[in-house]
Structure 1
Amino acid sequence: MKGIQQFRKNKHGFLLVDAMIGVLVVAIGLAALAALYTYGIGVMVSADRQEKAVQIAAEKIELLKAADGHSSSDIRTIVGVINAAENNKIYQDGIEYQIHAEGGNNSLSGGYLGDDNLYPVKLTVNWSDPRPQQLTLETYILTND
């Protein structure tokens, strides 16, 4: 019996050290979760801005696709309208999206060697998030020439 009492006497403060280690482990885990949460919020905001850039580019592509069946000069005119200073910037949620359209055989990456009735168009959207970001969409528009 004396042995057990002697054993218990020497273990004073053991629970305090256990509690301190437990609190430290929980604090490290919570700090890691907080860092992961803030990183996730940043990724979500970046994805939202990229989605807005895709929507802007898709709107401009639809504007170009409305010229299906027209002449390539009509499409070049629309490309010029998109690139005009008053039309090539859109502000959404405090972010400036800059739009640039390019048309013709040299506009697509890798060139175009196909049907002469298809007019290639490349549309680029740039924005800062806070780093510069870029999105490019490429398509073909049917012409009558």
Structure 2
Amino acid sequence: MNGIKQFRKNKQGFLLVDAMIGVLVVAIGLAALAALYTYGIGVMVSADRQEKAVQIAAEKIELLKAADGHSSSDIDPLINSIGTDEQNLKSVDVDDIKFYFWVTSKPFEEYKDTDVNRLYYVKVFVKWSDPRIQTISLETYIRTKDKVKGAAL
């Protein structure tokens, strides 16, 4: 009986050390979960901003596609109204975020036929800060009723 009391007396401090190690492991786990949660929120916000940028670009593409089949004299003012270079950007505010957009376009003339409608290659860019600068682009072709006469490769 005396040996059991002696054994218990020597092992009393281990319970406190075990509890401290357990608390430390739980604290490290909770800190990792908090960091993961914070990172997840940041990714969600970034994805939301990217989705809004894609919606803006798609809106501009749809505006240009409405002129599909018209003459280039109808399409050029639409392209100019959106903005044609990165120095003179147009912008729109969505949820307190400023999105800048512009369009590049060029005639696409790879036809040797004399009676082919002209195609415009159009690319819409949208730029925003998240906190570093992000850019997305959507591209399409717009057909005009202008005929290409003897276009060369």
Per the TM superposition, whether the score is higher than 0.5 is: yes
- Partner residue of 2:102? 100
- Partner residue of 2:33? 33
- Residues 63 and 28 (structure 1), Cα distance of their counterparts in 2 relative to 1, 3 Å cut: same
TM-score by length of 1: 0.88
How many Å separate the matches in 2 of 1:66 and 1:80? 15
1:86 deviation in Å? Answer: 10
Q: Which structure features the higher share of strand residues?
A: 2
TM-score by length of 2: 0.83
How many Å separate the matches in 1 of 2:104 and 2:45? 29
Percent of pairs with identical residues: 66
How many Å separate the matches in 2 of 1:136 and 1:112? 22
1:7 deviation in Å? Answer: 1.4
Whether the aligned pair in 2 keeps the contact of 1:112 and 1:120 (CA below 8 Å) is: no
- Residues 10 and 70 (structure 1), Cα distance of their counterparts in 2 relative to 1, 3 Å cut: same
Q: How many residues align?
A: 140
- Partner residue of 2:58? 58
How many Å separate the matches in 2 of 1:92 and 1:86? 19
- Residues 112 and 47 (structure 1), Cα distance of their counterparts in 2 relative to 1, 3 Å cut: farther
Q: Which runs of 5+ in 2 are unaligned?
A: 147-153
Give the secondary-structure state (helix, strand or coil) at the position aligned to 1:144. strand
Does 2:93 align with 1:88? Answer: no
Does 2:136 align with 1:135? Answer: yes
- Residues 86 and 102 (structure 1), Cα distance of their counterparts in 2 relative to 1, 3 Å cut: closer
Q: Which runs of 5+ in 1 are unaligned?
A: 106-110
- Partner residue of 2:20? 20
